[in-house]
Amino acid sequence: MKAAHKCLLFHFVLLSVIFLCHGQYFNDKGKLVLPESYKIPWMAKVQDFLTLSLVTIPGTHDSMALYGGPEAECQAFSLMDQLRAGIRFLDLKVFGLGGTLYVIKGVAYQHSTLKEVLDTVQAFLSEYKTEAVLIEVRADSFEKILVNELVEGLIGSDQHYWVTSGMPTMGQVRGKIVFLQKNTFTLGIPLIEPDGTGSQKVTNIQDKDNRIVKQLSQAAEACGGDNAVLTYTSGTGFGSFWGMFLTPKRVAEKVNPWLNQYLRQFFPNQHRPCLGIIAMDFPGFDLIQDVINLNTW
């Protein structure tokens, strides 16, 4: 009996450790609890003279995708909690209707307009003036002209936005929203994705891990240039037979702990690689912090 109790206790402790470690890097609970010692404005440590392309930045893929069921949902933290946790890149798919840009995921409306997102980010930046938030606006090609016109109308002549294509220094963009241009959006810094793979369909997690390694290696080579460099660690098996059960959450559940271990291999190094923007699904607080800690000051 005692041996059986010991065995059960061992498995309970083991499962508890696995759960706790798992929760540090993957989060689907939607509740952010910050350590008392945590400092929200981490960009304050980035020297003013450094170009933005030399900073490794944690981001979220489909940043507002909190609704629509398992195939649509990609995040658990609210927008403000993402920013407070250290996220500095937002990925937004929008749809224009009646002069308003709505944030969507697939066909699912994400209970927010682009204006509401920008207002929330501006409120955050007004409190933490050392920070900058990068935003990629994605639209269908047939809405390219409409979306660009509506965004220009939203921001007007507000100087708290970076809309030119030149790569700025950190000092130039503190307190600002920095737009990134790609395909259907033409405001801001040019954005490139290593290997051009984006968030591909996933049918095998190991293959996804290997693609991420390849992308991050290419990102390291491209850092410091005239373009922002983006790697998506997200993925979904939706639409494929072999990956039909791999929702964004299930992919992130497996990829995020692996990604954390991959990134931590660089921590003993005095000079850690610049990896550009890393956009994730369901990132836990500790994973976000480990991306930030790739920067050395």
Q: Which amino acid is it at 49? A: F
User: Does some domain include residue 24?
Assistant: no
User: Does some domain include residue 22?
Assistant: no
Of 277, 296, 297, 226, nearest to 86 (Cα)? 277
Distance CA 235, CA 203 (A): 9
Both tokens of 18, joined, read 């696995």
pLDDT of 243: 63
**Which residue range(s) make up the domain with 188?**
40-292
Whole-prediction pTM value?
Answer: 0.91
User: Does some domain include residue 7?
Assistant: no
Q: pLDDT of 133-167, one tens digit each? A: 999 999 999 999 999 999 999 999 999 999 999 99
CATH number for the domain spanning 119: value is 3.20.20.190
The 8-class DSSP code of residue 169 comes to: B
Q: Which amino acid is it at 276? A: G
Alpha helices in 101-184 (DSSP H): 114-127, 144-155, 170-173
Distance CA 245, CA 155 (A): 41
User: Does some domain include residue 71?
Assistant: yes
Kind and range of the H or E element at 105?
Answer: strand 100-105
pLDDT above 50: residue 19: no
User: Does some domain include residue 190?
Assistant: yes
Q: pLDDT of 31-43, one tens digit each? A: 899 999 999 999 9
User: Does some domain include residue 259?
Assistant: yes
User: Does some domain include residue 35?
Assistant: no
The 8-class DSSP code of residue 51 comes to: B
- Count of structural domains within the chain: 1
User: Does some domain include residue 281?
Assistant: yes
Mean pLDDT of the chain, nearest integer: 90
